[in-house]
Amino acid sequence: MKKGMGWPIGVVVILVATVASNIGVIVLTRDDPSFAVEPDYYRKAVAWDSTQQRVAQSDALDWRLSAHISTRSAEDGAGSRTLTIDLTDNTGAAVRNATLSGSLLHVARANDVQRVAFTENAAGQYVVTVPMPREGIWELRLAALRQTDRFQETVRIDTERDLITPAGP
């Protein structure tokens, strides 16, 4: 090796190590279920005004959502639970014949999103059974559609305390 070649070789080694470590981090985080990026975040940011308009229209309906969660099913290895939604209008009457759907995710595993579709029972409640294998806080992003009315709400479900609260702004 020529005299004075140590510095250039050292710089190249440092650059190669930096690139290799960055590639390693990318590979590790790509499949990590606890790491998530909001889907279509750029489109959502561009459509912020229309999103706020839909939120205002949803709030103007003055519908109320109350949710209930069953205890974990002992015989089910997936730890399924039944979510029951009571949806009422501003007079307290049940909102019937609506289509409820949404997404459910454990906040510690935000990359693992489940799509949920509720069915209406005879009592006017909307019910779905979903696998919830982890204890802790889950987030349900719900949309209800009845004719031209669209209601949306996000709630947090704490399975350890059987507590359901609004997710906040």
Q: Which residue has the tokens 């949803």?
A: 58
Structure confidence by residue, pLDDT tens digits, 73-122: 655 566 788 999 999 998 989 999 999 999 999 988 888 899 999 999 99
Structure confidence by residue, pLDDT tens digits, 129-154: 999 888 889 999 999 999 999 999 99
What burial class does residue 42 get, using C-beta atoms within 10 Å of its C-beta: 0-12 exposed, 13-18 middle, 19+ buried? exposed
The yes-or-no verdict on residue 169 having pLDDT over 60 is no
Highest mean pLDDT pick, 5-9, 39-43, 109-113, 127-131: 127-131
Stated pTM of the model: 0.72
Other Cβ atoms closer than 10 A to 54: 14
What distances in angstroms separate CA 65 from CA 21, 51, 86, 116, one per listed residue? Answer: 48, 20, 6, 16
